[in-house]
Every structure is written in structure tokens, then in C-alpha cells.
A and B are shown apart, each in its own frame.
Chain A
Amino acid sequence: PAETFHNLQELRHSASLANKIFIQRDYSEGTTCKFQTKFPSELESRIEWTLFEDTVKTLNNYYAEAEKIGGQSYLEGCLACATAYLIFLCMETRYEKVLKKIAKYIQEQNEKIYAPRGLLITDPIERGMRVIEICIYEDRGSSGSSSGSSSVSGSTAR
């Protein structure tokens, strides 16, 4: 692991990322936020699919929890209406609380599982909740795999 970190550090400064893959949304159940659990082929050599699926499923569960319509959300909604929605200015909504949990979870997953394998997950909220972006870093020695996407811009800025 330490060695991989070291490589990542150097790689970040000297070259663009090898590849970025995007996990798209799964709309089969409507407009609620859910991501596809299909295992992308580019990750086959990098990580076990059970770990990947576990991450995506946990994220989906978090989002389902945030968007759940039930007793608590009705209470929040009615209270907000009664106070002419001014309560949103001082109170954190349940959605925001869950988003914070998600951010922490992603960071933890990155540290423990993905970074040691040369991968990094970007929080979907930073991509408009449309995709889970996974950056794939290559070891310095090997040649970059299909660099179609990395030619767009020197993405170290990002």
C-alpha cells in the first residue's frame, strides 16, 4: 500500500490519469437516486466485484434512506410549511445529514479499499448525482490504457 501511494503521488504530478469510468444511474424504479451495480469491465483486473458491488449497494441504501417518504419526512415537510419554509434556513434537512454520512463513507472506502488498488471514487454529489466517477491510475511503468478520455484536458487541475 505505501508503495502504491507513493506512485500515486508521483503520477498525479507528472501525467494525467489513465482513465475515468462512470457508473450511471439506474432509473428502473423511478427517479429516486440509485446507481447501477453492473461491474465495469475496466475494473476487472483491479478489484474484486464483490467489494465494488458492496460499495455501490451501500451508497444506494444511503440515498434510499435520504429520499424515503414516510413519517419523518412528512413531519419535516408539514413543519416547514407551517413556518412558511423559514425553518430550512436554520435547520439541516435529513437529506443533508445523510449526504454528510455518504461523504464520510466514500472517504473511508477510498482510504481502505480503493486507493491501495490505484482507484479513487468521486462523491456523486460533485457530479450532479448523475454518475459515480472512478478514476483509474496506472503504475508508472506500464503504458496507459485507452487514453481517449484523458486527452480532453490536463485533468490534474480537477
Chain B
Amino acid sequence: MKNCEYQQIDPRALTVSPSSAQIHTVKKVQRLRRKWEVFPGKNRFLCDGRFILARQSGVLPLTLGLIIVTCCLFFAFDCPFLVEHLTVFIPVIGGMLFLFVTISLLRTSFTDPGILPRATPDEAADIEKQIDTSGSSTYRPPPRTKEILINQQVVKLKYCFTCKMFRPPRTSHCSLCDNCVERFDHHCPWVGNCVGKRNYRFFYSFIVSLSFLTSFIFGCVITHITLRKYSHSLSRSVCTILVICFFSIWSILGLSGFHTYLVASNLTTNEDIKGSWSSKRGTEDSGNPYSYNSIITNCCATLCGPMPPSLIDRRGFLPPDEAGPAASTSEIELPPFAAKNGTHMVG
């Protein structure tokens, strides 16, 4: 039997002999379940674990709808006129931008943002042993922190009560998805997912290309109106496009600008909002310890860096249930006191 999940015992050297095992002989014949079915976070899985989404998909349908409707109206009403009067490249560019925007959006929504699997019970117990529990009278122990040095700077790591581990630096617990996410940026309702280490580049591509798309459509519509020299009221489709574009341009352009700043300084939205690296203490050098101190390197590292793998192994198989109770949730069983992320704030 190949123990897919843990590979602790080298299958070649140690073959399982069921003879002496009282438990192993009672092997229930059941469909092997995949790990995504017992995933403890608040996520939704599609296509048998291939795609991951937050449980509250937010307004992703609205985002998609707005983009598609605007583009359809654009292609239907403006393009014929503009192709005639300007160039045939208008719908071509529009089409390419639209495709890029849609693909980036879908990649952002359906990619694992960098979820950290929860600590196994053994690991959690090991960490507990190392924490000094001063017998406090309150049922809930005080928040636990650990200080470490990163590039000669002191950084505090917090203990996550839900995931039972000390969060690695730049990791934050998203209360909406109930997961710790690496390099947590923010939870984006428009996209219906957290934005973290693994999908930040998709998110950035999405907002930048969306800025281009909305500006392009806006520009084309204005050109259309100018060329046609509308003297009377504008047609409904043009109005719709204008309104949508006008409002989205400001917000999307602003967001793109903000994220460009974040990328250039190797910050996350989370850190920026909390002011983690702003010079609160005057004397200490409390700059960002993760920055490479060069805009180009920061950009390249964030956007063109290597793509880390997903850590949650959605499609792996669970080992068949042994006699252990709830052995299928091989992750956690929240002991009574472990509150539902008292840190429901991010970080």
C-alpha cells in the first residue's frame, strides 16, 4: 500500500505486513477521499479540487458581468463605426485586452493564494511544549509572540490560535477564509479570493490590464462621440459605457497606482495599512527588511519571481480511515478553548 500522504516509511524497505496488525486488517472498503474534501478552511473547491475559491465569492459574478457587458456593448455599438472611420485594430486591441483581463481575473480567483496548511497535532503539541505557559487563571492564554531577527531587524511572529502555529513572517490569517495565507495582501471581494503570495502577480496583471482596458474603451467612446458629432441625446449604450468607465477608471487607476507603489517597495497592503515599517521609533532603522532597496529588483522579485507550489495538496488522497476517531480530519480538532481566531483582524 502506498501511503501517499506521508511517505514516512520507505515503501521499498518496509512493506506493510497485515498479519500482526489488529487495526490494519479492518480496512474499510470505501472510496478514497481527496484532501480537499476535508479541508478545514472556508473554501469552495471546483472540478474535484482543481480550482479553489473562497466560500463567500463576494462580487466576482458582478465583476465578470460588468467587464463582459461593457465589452459587449463596446464591440456591438462602437466598433463598427470606429473600424469604418479609424482602423481595424481597434477591436483587435480591445479583444486582446479583454482576453487578458478575463484570464488574469480567473487566475486570481481560482488560484490558491498561498494557504498554509494547519499544524498537525504533533507539531502543535511540540510548539506548546516550547512555549512558556505561566499558569494564568484565565482560560485563554495570553497572545503568544516570538521575536526573531530578519536581516538584523527585530520582527514579531504571532501565534495563530486557529492554525496552531507561529505564523511565518508576512503571513496573516484571513478571517473570511479562515486560513493563514503567506505574504497576505488583502481579501478582495471583487475577485472573491484572498490575494497572497501565489496569486499576487495575477491580481496585479488584472488591475493593470483592466486600467488599460477601461481607458481604451473610454477613449474610443469619446472618439466615437466626437466623430459622430452628437447633437441630440446620446444613445443608451454609449451612456452605459461612459458611466461605467468613468467611475471605474478612477478607482482602478488609483488602485493600480497604489499597487505599483507596493510592488516597487516590496510591501503588502496589510503591512502598509498597519504601518509595520513606518519609522515609529526614530533611532532604530525600521525600514522594510524584505526590500531589496532597488525598485527594479523589488518589482522583478515580486512579479517575475519563481512561482511557489501550492502547499495544501488539494487533490492528494487521504489514507484510508483507520479505527481512529475522526481520523479523516488529519489536521485539527479544535480543543474547546481555541477560540475562533480571536485575531479576527488580519495579523
Contacts and interface: CB of A to CB of B under 8 A. Distances in A.
Interface of A: 5, 8-10, 12-14, 20-22, 25, 27-31, 66-69, 73-74, 76-78, 80-81, 84-86, 88, 93-96, 99, 107, 110-111, 115, 120, 122-123, 125-131, 133, 135, 148-150, 152-158
Contacts, number: 165
Nearest to B21: A13
A27 B148 contact: yes
Interface of B: 5-10, 12-14, 17, 20-21, 23-24, 99-100, 103-104, 107, 116-117, 119-123, 125-126, 129, 148-151, 155, 165, 168-170, 182-183, 201-202, 205, 289-290, 297, 300-301, 303-309, 311-313, 319, 322, 324, 327, 330
A62 B90 CA distance: 48
Q: Which label, helix, strand, loop or mixed, suits the secondary structure of the B interface?
A: loop
20 contacts: A13-B20, A20-B122, A22-B126, A27-B169, A30-B150, A31-B290, A67-B305, A69-B306, A77-B300, A84-B100, A84-B103, A94-B306, A99-B309, A122-B7, A125-B311, A128-B312, A129-B311, A148-B125, A154-B324, A157-B330
Contacts of B125: 148-149, 152
Given A12-B14, A154-B324, A73 B116 contact: no
Nearest to A65: B306
A153 B13 contact: no
Contacts of A77: 201, 300, 303-307
A74 B99 contact: no
B38 to A, nearest CB: 13
